[in-house]
Amino acid sequence: MAEVVLYHHVQGLTAGVVAFADELRRAGHTVHTPDLFEGHTFATIEDGMAFARAAGFEAVLERGVAAAEALPTHGVVYAGFSMGVMPAQKLAQTRAGTRGALLFHACMPVAEFGERWPDDVPVQVHGMDADPFFTEEGGDLDAARELVASTDVAELFLYPGKEHLFTDSSLPSYDPAATALLVERALRFLDDIAATPSEAQPG
């Protein structure tokens, strides 16, 4: 099955993030959940953002990249929720041997981490169609559409609603129906990757 590194959102490694990871594990996948906030969790996005700003977004990003260094360089899928998309996307675009990427609630412009998206790294982007964080403020939806237009290995899935972290069952923003559909699509993505032989690692 697939090996996944799943990065949490700006409210930290919440019980909902762990529950999401456990659902992927129940399907047979290996899932790592690095804690980029060193045990801190926050009740609101605003509180989490304040903590991330104080720590430095670049420092959080590099902490996420460093968390993947102990894993094999080949055969890993990088996934992230919102803020966690930063390390997931950077690794997917820059680390040789990456098998895929799952970007939940956010998408960075491809140019942030390279000239183009790698042709051998399938990617899914998921977000709500009226989420202001995704559709307006950060330009994530535009970045996702540009990504899909630039490669045949990218898919964009939009869900009806305005909630940002709708996949986190421990938060008021949780949407069970949308999450169930997202999980179904993500598991199909991971199963397809697991069923496709990876290139042999260099000798």
Structural domain contains residue 151: yes
Structural domain that includes position 144 = 3-195
- Enter the DSSP assignment of 34: -
Structural domain contains residue 100: yes
Structural domain contains residue 200: no
Residue 53 sits at the vertex; the CA angle it makes with 12 and 46, to the nearest 5 degrees, is: 60
Instruction: Report how far residue 132's alpha carbon sits from residue 116's, in angstroms, rounded to the nearest whole number.
Output: 26
Structural domain contains residue 83: yes
Instruction: Report how far residue 119's alpha carbon sits from residue 98's, in angstroms, rounded to the nearest whole number.
Output: 11
pLDDT at 73: 76
Q: What are the C-alpha distances in Å from 15 to residues 11, 105, 115, 130, 170?
A: 11, 18, 36, 25, 6
Structural domain contains residue 202: no
Structural domain contains residue 184: yes
Structurally, the chain folds into a number of domains equal to 1
Structural domain contains residue 201: no
DSSP string, 24-79: HHHTT-EEE---TTTT---SSHHHHHHHHHHH-HHHHHHHHHHHTTTS-SSSEEEE
Contacts of 88 (CB under 8 A, 6+ apart): 5, 7, 64, 78, 79, 80, 101, 102, 103
What's the token pair of residue 39?
């045990």
Each residue's pLDDT tens digit, 85-132: 999 999 999 999 999 999 999 999 999 999 999 999 999 999 999 999
pLDDT at 200: 40
Structural domain contains residue 203: no
What length is written for the chain? 203
Task: Note the pTM of the prediction, 2 decimals.
Answer: 0.94
CATH number at residue 58: 3.40.50.1820
Q: What are the C-alpha distances in Å from 78 to residues 11, 147, 160?
A: 19, 16, 25
Each residue's pLDDT tens digit, 149-200: 999 999 999 999 999 999 999 999 999 999 999 999 999 999 999 988 765 4
Q: Would you call 161 exposed, middle or buried from its count of C-beta atoms within 10 A (0-12, 13-18, 19+)?
A: middle
What average pLDDT is seen over the chain?
A: 94
